[in-house]
Amino acid sequence: MHPRQLFAALLFAVTVLTAGFAAAAAEPENTMIITLKDGDVVVALRPDLAPKHVAQIKALVRSGAYDNVAFHRVIEGFMAQTGDVQYGDMKDGFNADAVGTGGSDMPDLPAEFSNEPYVRGVVGMARAQSPDSANSQFFIMFAPASSLDGQYTVVGEVVSGMELVDKIKRGDAAMNGVVTDPDRMIKVRIAADGN
């Protein structure tokens, strides 16, 4: 085969594989829509990287557990953290002193670390010191943070609406990003379920 033909064949194969992956990542069953005060943020969930974490997130979404949950820790140039369904529900049970320490009534999950880098728009699972302590809390990256690579489970990436994530109210830097009167996820849904 001529080098030009070989290059064209390789380019075609890469294009087909990449398109197939993008389509799989954006399937409605693995697309999470987070409604914020300024509009919708669309997240392509990654069951290929973290099947147990994605399954738990989808179960929590479908139960309505994430609706009205605060972005309780937001650090400029780093990330916005949310998902404390135990203490972060702004309409039912918000506890400013405890938010960020809770989870859900579902079990903590074993780590599903990958080689996926933490770059702008990546969604990762928050956890305590134990790698196997992720439950319901997650964060969205404002900027790359290679120090998180391989240390936290990647569950998805923002595919649209990152400009809305950028508008989430920031926390106090002196308080490790704790937010007073925080913004919230108004409603969270899986695209396959409709509105």
| pLDDT tens figures, 109-165 | 999 999 999 999 999 999 999 999 999 999 999 999 999 999 999 999 999 999 999
Of 81, 85, 101, 83, the residue nearest 93 (C-alpha): 85
Query: What distance in Å separates the CA atoms of residue 91 and residue 54, rounded to the nearest whole number?
Result: 25
Tokens of 3: 């080098």
Of 109, 82, 114, the residue nearest 179 (C-alpha): 82
Q: pLDDT tens across 74-84, in order?
A: 999 999 999 99
Residue 2 — very low, low, confident or very high, per pLDDT cuts 50/70/90?
low
**Domain regions of the chain by residue span:** 3-193
Of 73, 52, 64, the residue nearest 154 (C-alpha): 52
- Tell me what percent of the residues of the chain surpass a pLDDT of 90: 85
For residues 27-35, average pLDDT: 97
Query: What distance in Å separates the CA atoms of residue 50 and residue 151, rounded to the nearest whole number?
Result: 13
pTM of the full structure: 0.87
Contact 52, 112 (CB under 8 A): yes
What CATH class has 3-193? mainly beta
pLDDT of residue 1 exceeding 80, the answer is no
Contact 143, 77 (CB under 8 A): yes
